[in-house]
Amino acid sequence: MQDVNEIYRHYNIPGNQSPYPRDFILDSNGIVRFASTEYDPGAMIHIIESLLDDTTVSTIDTKTIPKNFQLKQIFPNPFNSNVNIKFSVDKNKNVSLKIYNINGNLIKTLILNKSFSPGNYESFWDGLGNNGKIQTSGIYIIQLSDGKSIDIKKLVLAK
């Protein structure tokens, strides 16, 4: 991995304010991903690494340290094509985010034991299972886990 100063040199125009918005990235699927800080090299490197690792994490808010490890807003719910899953991490920890059907069968692993620093994050699910197939309408369970704690929420897929 490149040193933060080297990233800065490539990302900033020396002697000037950079004309490029440093808090937005367009991923290979054309989705805008962002960090909510004006310029936080650590946050930007984390997002870039996540995109390169093909993970689904996109938003990092490092200004506010959450008090809890928890699933937050899930929007829209019910959904039919894409759902945003917001969660917070209160301490440095390894996190997994998984989707199960109502029978308890694992449908999709969005994040598997990935290290997160304290902050607020957002992930996306497109309704596809680990097998690449579109899932049927129904109730699904979102599970956020750090190995010690688990938070779950109900999600409805309506096609």
* Residue 154 domain boundaries: 63-159
- 95 and 151 both lie in a single domain: yes
Q: Both 140 and 111 in a single domain?
A: yes
How far is Cα 49 from Cα 95, in angstroms, rounded to an integer? 16
| pLDDT at 34 (0 to 100) | 52
| pLDDT at residue number 109 | 96
Tell me the average pLDDT of the chain: 76
pLDDT value for 2: 45
pLDDT tens for each residue of 37-74:
444 555 555 555 555 555 555 555 556 678 889 999 88
Give DSSP secondary structure letters for 42-54: HHHHHHHHHHHTT
Tell me what the mean pLDDT of segment 82-89 comes to: 92
Could you tell me the two tokens for 146? 């750090």
pTM over 0.75: no
Whether 129 and 82 map to the same domain: the answer is: yes
Q: How many domains does the chain have?
A: 2
Task: For residues 69 and 41, state if they share a domain.
Answer: no
Indicate whether 93 pLDDT > 90. Answer: yes
Question: Do 68 and 48 have their domain in common?
Answer: no
- Say if strands 119-125 and 138-145 run parallel, antiparallel, or are unpaired: unpaired
Domain co-membership, 73 together with 5: no
Which amino acid, 26? L
Q: Is the dihedral of CA 14, 20, 23, 27 positive or negative?
A: negative
